[in-house]
Structure 1
Amino acid sequence: MAVKGWEKNSRGRPAKKRAGMTSMAEEDRISKLPDAVITHILSFLPTDEASQTCILSKRWKLIWHFVPILSFSDADYLSPLDLYQFVDDCLEHRKRGMYYMVGSVITSFKLEMNYCYQASKAYVVDKWLAFAVQNKVKEINLRLNSSPLDNYHYWLSETVFIARDLTILQLEGLDLGTNSSIKLPALKTLSLNSCYFDDDGLGDGLFKILLGCPSLEKLLIHSCLNLCSAGDQLRLRSSSLKFIKIDNFENVVPIRVEAINLESLELSGFIFENSSLSACKAIRNLTLTFYEDKGIEDGSSLDHIISNLPLLENLTLKDCYKLKLEHCEYIKISNQLLKSFNLKNEDAKYESYDHGMNVIIESAPKLESFCYEGNINFSIAMESSNLLNGKFVIHDHREKNYDSNWFNSMMIFLLNLNCPWNIVTLHVYSDKDLMLSENLKRLYRSPLLKWKHLRVITDCKPKTESDLKDALMWISPSLETLSINEKIIL
């Protein structure tokens, strides 16, 4: 193999350097770096690649022993046995090396098995984790997805539940038995993805885990089975948690969060009737995603939750179009410190919904910005002394014929935006969405709106900006500034 910077001649000997090429010593800049910098670079590589650097030279022979991150994946292994053998050999080398290499530590252990995990090898994984915990590892990341033919999921070793130095624990595809005592005094972040609990369900199991994590600040849960038994309430209690994100699509239940220091909360797929966040007085950021037609029977339950968060500044409601309010036709929002309100129907890009959405914003004196994403079956009413910055992203996946029905709906949509705005951003698919027919112009009188500052964004480039400008000036003749796709028109 030719050395970089040189070429071999016909006899296999190094040929002369080409003009302008540096010497081998000058080319090998990495070897001139301090060991600490090299180990930092190697820490971004999978361990099997980092260990291969030992063949480069005598100096490189032991450097990989000082890489603090051990990362293993079955992505490049054809046989499960190859991966098991490599991890065993690697950990044995590190174990021997740590006896006589001062400064060789392990801070992170990552293991990803998308198809290699075998139930019969669970004791081997236990051994690997025990090695990591004994060496005071601070981060463990396990992703063990069993074969479709194997219904057995890896049962997390009890050794991990008493890892006193652990600060980050990320688990995917594991069975979390919580019969043993849990003592994770230093844990700051816990992430559970597609995990399973015992017969007690995640509600009880998670409650036990939180009791054993007095320093936990960040909790993430996604698609875990047995989240809660039907008809029960998921209860979370922690005085240390600052951030919670839970995606619950398996069993939609009410939730009760008791976290006095919680600042950010993101919930998906919960019933908000009988839910409570009343103990979370420190929440500043709240995101709620609704699931199918469940969540609210009376809009007052949502208003009650929001209005009783005294420090709330940023509110995001997603996929509200999935709600079917039985006792009212609107969602009411009120909060004394609320600054930003986002209403995003992201799935509306792919799904059709015909029922309208009505939002009333009242008693929100600090509100500065409002963002809506969805179709044009929307109306808003505001009671605010502030001039708001508004952004409206219009989605409609149905075929548009731009007939009288479409333009009539667009006119009504625009009329329903007749609120006190500072700057309005209007994002539509095409300039045709705003080219109102002459018949409708005679039916509706100009001006429709009294906007002063407007930004228009179109997915398709307008054929003529002048025609679009004329249409917008008819809608709101009082425009003082106008930009189309970031181009200043006025």
Structure 2
Amino acid sequence: MNPDCKETVSGQLNTVDRFSDLPDFLVHHIISFLDTREAYRTCILSKRWAHISATNPILEFHYYCEPKLPCRYWPSKEVSARLLGYIDSRMQRYAEDNLRIRTLKLRFPASNRVFGCDVEDIELLELSRKLEELSCKVDEWIRIAVRNQVARLDLDGPINYQLPAILLSAKSLRELYCMNVKIPYYNGAINLASLQTLKLISVDVEERMLNHIISSCLLLKCLSVKFCFGFKTIVIPCCSQVKELTLKYSLPENGTIILESSYLTCFQFSDSYDDRWPIMLKPGLLRNLRTLDLFSSGITDGDLGKLLPELASLETLHLFNCRRLTMIRISNVQLKKIYLDDCHGLLYVTVDAPSLTKFKYKGDFDPDCIITISSQASCVLSVHTIPCCLDTLGFFKLKQLMTGLRSCNALKIWLSDDYDESERDDIKFDEEELGDVNLGPPRDITELKLSLYDQNLSRSSMSAFLNGLFWTCRPDIISFQFFLHEPDLMIQLFMSELEDMANCWEHPLKRIKFPDANCSNTLESKKVDLQLRLHW
């Protein structure tokens, strides 16, 4: 019998409510995993739960999910006076009772509605008054949160909202997330002694202010700046301990990133300029970098050639839309993952990475591009291409790509629909076209994963597709995924062609999988019958 359960004289069990004996801070931690609406619903359980919900240190106020107001009382995309009154009363209670605020989330609508009125319908002076009133309320709530030792502030500001200067003196603040706000220059000290994470999205920030915050927050570990503006230069000084740096579409055409810190372990950079590489750094500063993610049309072979030898600890390299690159040479013993996405200008790729476990190539499988990989680890190859690129030469290059691998755990082939109607359904394979070229027998691999996305193949293309794949590799398992509206016909076609190809190549398949397909009973029985005939 449970020691917390005691039997009464009448034979009923009298259970002990251990949960109600938990201290407030533990119950607060438990309900922190609920959303705001569910957390406040717990107040109906008992008087103690009403107290718990009223003193919850995690406050989330969203214009679309405010818990106390039924949806019929307030529009889903406007700042209503009733909603502001509710938030204000809650915050004032926390101020009066000096209750700890661990997290404060304030999110306002992106639509142009203030207090139930369209901005276009409000006169300029009236609109200015309403926005000023709203900004004053938000300033007061932030002031209360700072005074009550807030640790995380998540703010999606109202129209033309400026962060108050008091926020820069929040000693207890560890995480700051800002969206759609302005950060002007404040001529004063910054005392964000505990700040570790700073994420800005669509923020208008003055350059001196941004660099002043970065240099003043000595515990800052994660910095993310996305779609921001108002500055030309970002400096990560040598005193900074930023480890994760994300800069996406925030630099103007003549902007510059100056890296002086050697603590970076993850760097993600995106821009849309074709004529320049804006990053300046001294040799040896990126020796601790483990993840490099570049979306840059401006980087050249020379820029990448200077950068890669500096990355002694690099484990993951992702190059996306680097159209000016024609040649990539990588030799790194730590490198484990390489992703090449839509780098259409590539002609030569040479990878010498003994620890490589994943190589992904997305784009046209260009026969003019020579890819050579050398790895001693078990590697997963992933090719995302269009059907017309998988001709005889395409399968030859795929097999050639696998020759430098010690072993291959999986080969993933994605066929997308990114092509013209005139090129649809154009997969061809004829081994005689290769002449005397011999790359040896098909490579033994653990699993072949095939994905067909939003397009159908004819019987001839399916036959050529499977024929080329069996010439390239001998998988133990074939996994087929269809991202189609009606996959049954393609599954039937695949099953019949697979039977012919497997018998033709005398290939002892062990298993076939359709992970996401809802096969009918007919297809299930056909699968079982095929398994019996091929001795799976």
| TM-score normalised by length of structure 1 | 0.74
Once residues 138 and 436 of structure 2 are traced to their aligned partners in structure 1, the CA distance between those partners, rounded to angstroms, is: 73
**Cα offset, 1:333, TM superposition:** 2.5
Distance 1:364 1:467, change over 3 A: closer
Determine the structure 2 residue equivalent to 1:16: none
Once residues 471 and 365 of structure 1 are traced to their aligned partners in structure 2, the CA distance between those partners, rounded to angstroms, is: 28
User: Is the contact between residue 388 and residue 420 of structure 1 (CA under 8 Å) also seen in structure 2?
Assistant: no
Of residues 257, 261, 278 in structure 1, which corresponds to 2:283? 278
**Cα offset, 1:447, TM superposition:** 4.0
**Cα offset, 1:248, TM superposition:** 1.9
Distance 1:290 1:119, change over 3 A: same
Question: SS at 1:127's partner residue?
Answer: helix
**Cα offset, 1:131, TM superposition:** 0.5
Determine the structure 2 residue equivalent to 1:244: 245
2:205 is aligned with 1:197 = yes
For residues 315-330 of structure 1, what are the structure 2 equivalents within 5 Å?
315-320=317-322, 323-325=323-325, 329-330=326-327
Determine the structure 2 residue equivalent to 1:290: 295
Once residues 475 and 54 of structure 1 are traced to their aligned partners in structure 2, the CA distance between those partners, rounded to angstroms, is: 64
Once residues 222 and 67 of structure 1 are traced to their aligned partners in structure 2, the CA distance between those partners, rounded to angstroms, is: 32
**Cα offset, 1:158, TM superposition:** 0.6
Distance 1:106 1:160, change over 3 A: same
For residues 359-438 of structure 1, what are the structure 2 equivalents within 5 Å?
359-361=348-350, 364=353, 366-377=355-366, 379-382=369-372, 384=374, 386=376, 389-396=379-386, 400=387, 407-411=391-395, 413-414=397-398, 417=401, 419-421=403-405, 422-423=407-408, 425-429=410-414, 436-438=428-430
Once residues 415 and 225 of structure 1 are traced to their aligned partners in structure 2, the CA distance between those partners, rounded to angstroms, is: 47
Question: SS at 2:105's partner residue?
Answer: strand
Distance 1:205 1:225, change over 3 A: same
Of residues 17, 39, 43 in structure 1, which corresponds to 2:28? 39
**Runs (5+) with no aligned partner, structure 1:** 1-22, 99-103, 147-152
Of residues 323, 334, 337 in structure 2, which corresponds to 1:338? 334
Distance 1:61 1:433, change over 3 A: same
For residues 16-165 of structure 1, what are the structure 2 equivalents within 5 Å?
35-45=24-34, 47=36, 50-51=39-40, 53-54=42-43, 57-76=46-65, 77-78=74-75, 80-98=80-98, 104-115=99-110, 119-120=131-132, 121-146=134-159, 153-165=160-172
Distance 1:130 1:426, change over 3 A: same
Once residues 170 and 85 of structure 1 are traced to their aligned partners in structure 2, the CA distance between those partners, rounded to angstroms, is: 24
User: Is the contact between residue 350 and residue 373 of structure 2 (CA under 8 Å) also seen in structure 1?
Assistant: yes
Determine the structure 1 residue equivalent to 2:234: 234
**Cα offset, 1:423, TM superposition:** 0.6
Distance 1:208 1:451, change over 3 A: farther
Distance 1:356 1:388, change over 3 A: farther
Distance 1:482 1:359, change over 3 A: farther
Question: SS at 2:264's partner residue?
Answer: coil
Once residues 340 and 112 of structure 1 are traced to their aligned partners in structure 2, the CA distance between those partners, rounded to angstroms, is: 40
Of residues 243, 254, 257 in structure 2, which corresponds to 1:255? 257
**Cα offset, 1:113, TM superposition:** 0.7
Determine the structure 2 residue equivalent to 1:8: none
Determine the structure 2 residue equivalent to 1:441: 432
User: Is the contact between residue 193 and residue 223 of structure 1 (CA under 8 Å) also seen in structure 2?
Assistant: yes
Determine the structure 1 residue equivalent to 2:519: none
User: Is the contact between residue 106 and residue 154 of structure 2 (CA under 8 Å) also seen in structure 1?
Assistant: yes
Determine the structure 2 residue equivalent to 1:459: 451
**Cα offset, 1:65, TM superposition:** 3.0
Deviation string for 1:273-330 (max 9, x for gaps)? 6633635344332323324xx312x40211211111222232222233xx135xxx32
**Cα offset, 1:264, TM superposition:** 1.4
**Cα offset, 1:109, TM superposition:** 1.1
| TM-score normalised by length of structure 2 | 0.68
**Cα offset, 1:54, TM superposition:** 4.2
Distance 1:408 1:234, change over 3 A: farther
User: Is the contact between residue 178 and residue 205 of structure 1 (CA under 8 Å) also seen in structure 2?
Assistant: yes
Question: SS at 2:218's partner residue?
Answer: coil
Amino acid at match of 2:330: I
**Cα offset, 1:90, TM superposition:** 0.6
Once residues 257 and 278 of structure 1 are traced to their aligned partners in structure 2, the CA distance between those partners, rounded to angstroms, is: 10
2:175 is aligned with 1:168 = yes
Identify which range, 155-164 or 411-420, moves more after superposition.
Answer: 411-420
Question: SS at 2:193's partner residue?
Answer: coil
Once residues 73 and 208 of structure 1 are traced to their aligned partners in structure 2, the CA distance between those partners, rounded to angstroms, is: 31
Once residues 139 and 186 of structure 1 are traced to their aligned partners in structure 2, the CA distance between those partners, rounded to angstroms, is: 11
Question: SS at 1:159's partner residue?
Answer: helix
User: Is the contact between residue 392 and residue 429 of structure 2 (CA under 8 Å) also seen in structure 1?
Assistant: no
CA RMSD, 1 decimal? 3.8
Question: SS at 1:484's partner residue?
Answer: strand
Of residues 217, 221, 224 in structure 2, which corresponds to 1:220? 224
